Amino acid sequence: MSEVSNKSSPAPRLLVSPAWFFLGIFFVLPLVIMLVISFGMRGTYGGLKPIVDWWGYLSSGDFLANYRQSLDALYLPIYWRSIWMAVATTVLCLLISYPIAYYIAIVAPTRWKNLLLALVVVPFWTSFLIRTYAWMLILRTEGLANTLLMQAGLIQQPLDLLYNEFAVMIGLVYGELPFMILPLYASLEKLDLTLLEASGDLGANHASTFWRVTVPLTMPGIVAGIVLVFIPSIGQFVVSDLLGGAKSMLVGNLIQNQFSIARNKPFGSAIAFELTAVVLVLLLAYAWWSKKKGQEAML
Amino acid sequence: MSESISVEIREVSKRFGDFVAVDSVSLEIKKGEFFSLLGPSGCGKTTLLRMIGGFELPTAGAIRIGEKDVTHLPPYKRPVNMVFQSYALFPHLAVLDNVAFGLRYKKLSSADAVKKARESLALVRLEGFEDRLPAQLSGGQRQRVALARALAMEPEVLLLDEPLGALDQKLRKEVQLELKNLQRSLGLTFVFVTHDQEEALTMSDRIAVMNQGRVEQLDASHHVFEYPKTEFVAQFMGAPNFFTGVVKSLAEGLLSIGARTESEIRVRARSNSWRPDDAVRFVVRPEKLDLRTKSGTSDGEVSIEVTIEDRVYQGVNTVWVVRSDEGERYTIYEQNDRPFQESSRFRVGGRAFMSWNPRDTVVMEKKENGQLVG
């Protein structure tokens, strides 16, 4: 063909189109399918029940039945546990990570920095599932922790370390730690150390300098770390499945069960969608905060 | 310690591994004086300043501020404040909060702290900028905020670490005079670090010229300029005109030097340790040298025949570069107070006479076993 117009097809739009295509097929479309399913009803054999009277179904509000069911008192303890465990994981990760990130970024000799950072990332080389299994070996009754404690004579009877909320907490904190350390490191690395000297020069001791200068200036890293840790923690189901018992079920497990054991896809989709909405609200709040601070969001 | 001493540095050394940054420096800074530490980069001037501020601890020696030994005190317990080279303004705080930052530790009420901070900003003529963030200020304004922040603390000594380095030259000249006036009107002790000899001369009462961790010379600023004691100081103060001679005699305080000049040079001796036949080095400042067509021996002037190598027209001055028959190179500043054409008396490649008044001869201190004496 001789008449090909270049003007009507701007190159930039063409170049990003694969990205949009990818996001549309693998992200938006599944989400839409899930939303549609969440309004449906469970069929006898686990599929969707065909709807005969569309008008009656919509006007009676039956399509919201799954969302109503999700607010049943039966499930509230699970949501509550998910929230407090995610909050606790985030807080613990922050408390553990800040000193580590501070040490790597500021205290450690330059030639060690890359090695220390590599050590933070090294666990990613092994599958998360396998690392969680490793914790089972450590925490079980005749596991490493109990053996060592008993040999040291600190305890007479093995402790129940596995299959409880304690074990889940350990697994969550362990798994999410790098996601807190890395953004904290990134913002501490950029910190101008003369500002800490200036603070000391103006009469602030180390603690005062930390709260008035270091923390405010590394707030982007702190918030990014919180977002990065809280979101996966609240949807986590592998850790609680492997390390937790019946009493440490999280919302992630609830959703997973609907799709596997209970075979109630519509109900599972509804809870999953609610969780997605909560996460979305948190992300929007973060974006709003970043914009207000005039800072480039780290995510 | 005398009442009028503000900072006393006693045999202070600082080593970083094998590197000796400051090598057994002793000096006293008087109350209310503008004192400069001058030297090339790496000479130890900033390290010495940082030790006064408490950001580095000396490997050896002691530092007193006023009556107090502060050698091992952290910065926040010292009665000094610093204006940092990068200004180190807190980027997350507005100008007023930056200036009031340290006042919270002064046990002032918050209303008094704000009042004090505003006064301090008025001192550097920055009223109306209270709510701006540092990123919204120009370099000159940031420098003023840094100054106001340090002054608000009412320090006994104000430390300034090359605070004008980031400003353009025109602004720098203005700020130099402003700083000097501010220091004079507040009667505060300023310790100023710079590598710019002109800046040090413009502002300082006294200058310590540092080289390789040691103080080469500590004198009133005009004295350092007019009478450098060592070749390093002479060079650094812009007088790289070195001559070699031999001591003929020392009588009645007059040193008689034989050099490759047409006559002996008689200068006032600043030391009586000279002996006949001692080798002696001396300098003459470029602006004290004169280029003549004839050997000028009037009034006991000294002159040497030289070859003209180069001529640089600089507006106010013309710089002549000449070479003696021994191969030494000299710089001569000629003020352009005559019509331009007349300086064409000399041409590059031609011969001329370089003359000076013997009283302008500055003899370098005598060295014995590498040590300065006298």
* CATH of region B239-372: 2.40.50.140
Measured CA to CA, the distance from residue B175 to residue B144 in angstroms comes to 9
Return the HEC string of A187-255: HHHCCCHHHHHHHHHCCCCHHHHHHHHHHHHCHHHHHHHHHHHHHHHHHCCHHHHHHCCHHHCCHHHHH
Q: Say yes or no to pLDDT of A160 above 60.
A: yes
Residues of chain B predicted below pLDDT 70: 1-3, 262, 296-298, 340-344, 368-374
For residue B249, what are its two tokens?
């005699």
The minimal CB distance from A197 to the residues B75, B102, B150 is found for B75
Inter-residue long-range contacts of B220-228, CB under 8 Å, 24+ positions, other chains counted: B221/B36, B225/B197, B225/B201, B226/B285, B226/B362, B227/B270, B227/B362, B228/B283, B228/B362, B228/B364
The minimal CB distance from B153 to the residues A202, A216, A217 is found for A202
Q: Do A201 and B82 touch (CB under 8 A)?
A: yes
> Is A112 within 8 Å of A120 (Cβ atoms)?
no
Question: Reduced to 3 states, what is the DSSP secondary structure of residue B320?
Answer: strand
Measured CA to CA, the distance from residue A285 to residue A278 in angstroms comes to 11
Measured CA to CA, the distance from residue B306 to residue B303 in angstroms comes to 9
For the segment B272-320, what is each residue's pLDDT rounded down to a tens digit? 788 888 888 999 999 999 888 887 666 778 888 899 999 998 888 889 9
Amino acid occupying residue A221: G
Nearest chain A CA: its distance from B81 CA (Å): 6
- Does 3.40.50.720 match the CATH number of domain B5-235? no
Which residues of chain B make contact with A109, given a CB cutoff of 8 A? none
pLDDT at B1: 45
For residue A277, what are its two tokens?
């909405």
End-to-end CA distance of chain A: 45
The minimal CB distance from B84 to the residues A194, A213, A216 is found for A194
For the segment B101-142, what is each residue's pLDDT rounded down to a tens digit? 999 999 888 899 999 999 999 999 999 999 999 999 999 999
Number of A/B CB contacts below 8 angstroms equals: 61
Which residues of chain A make contact with B149, given a CB cutoff of 8 A? 202
pLDDT at B250: 83
Query: Which residues between 212 and 231 in chain A have a beta carbon less than 8 angstroms from any beta carbon of chain B?
Result: 212-213, 216-217
List the domain boundaries for chain B. 5-235, 239-372
Query: Which residues between 45 and 84 in chain B have a beta carbon less than 8 angstroms from any beta carbon of chain A?
Result: 53-55, 74-76, 80-82, 84
Find, in chain A, the residue whose alpha carbon is nearest to that of B100. Answer: A202
Q: Say yes or no to pLDDT of A296 above 90.
A: no
pLDDT-derived band at A297, boundaries 50, 70, 90: low
Query: What percentage of residues in chain A have a pLDDT greater than 90?
Result: 53
Interchain contact B91–A (C-beta under 8 A): yes
> Is B25 within 8 Å of B213 (Cβ atoms)?
yes
Measured CA to CA, the distance from residue A244 to residue A242 in angstroms comes to 6
pLDDT at A3: 46
What is the mean pLDDT of the segment spanning A148-154?
A: 88
Measured CA to CA, the distance from residue A140 to residue A48 in angstroms comes to 41
For the segment A262-290, what is each residue's pLDDT rounded down to a tens digit? 888 999 999 999 999 999 998 898 888 88
End-to-end CA distance of chain B: 25
Which residues of chain B make contact with A195, given a CB cutoff of 8 A? 88, 90-91
Most B-contacting residue of A191, A194, A202, A217 (CB-CB within 10 A), to test interface:
A202
Measured CA to CA, the distance from residue B281 to residue B263 in angstroms comes to 17
Q: Do A201 and B90 touch (CB under 8 A)?
A: no
DSSP alpha helices (H): ranges in chain B? 45-53, 95-100, 110-123, 139-152, 169-186, 197-203, 221-226, 231-236
Find, in chain A, the residue whose alpha carbon is nearest to that of B150. Answer: A202
pLDDT at A2: 45
Given CA atoms B169, B170, B171, B177 in this order, what sign does their dihedral have? positive
Q: Do A203 and B76 touch (CB under 8 A)?
A: yes
The minimal CB distance from B76 to the residues A192, A205, A217 is found for A205
- Does 1.10.3720.10 match the CATH number of domain A74-263? yes
Run of H or E including A282:
helix A265-293
Return the HEC string of A38-101: HCCCECCCCCECCCCCHHHHHHCCHHHHHHHHHCCCCCHHHHHHHHHHHHHHHHHHHHHHHHHH
ipTM of the complex: 0.85
Residues 6+ positions from A230 with CB-CB distance below 8 Å: A86, A87, A89, A90, A282
Find, in chain A, the residue whose alpha carbon is nearest to that of B152. Answer: A202
pLDDT at B368: 61
For residue B142, what are its two tokens?
């940031």
pLDDT at B2: 52
For the segment A33-77, what is each residue's pLDDT rounded down to a tens digit? 999 999 988 887 777 888 777 888 888 888 888 999 999 989 999
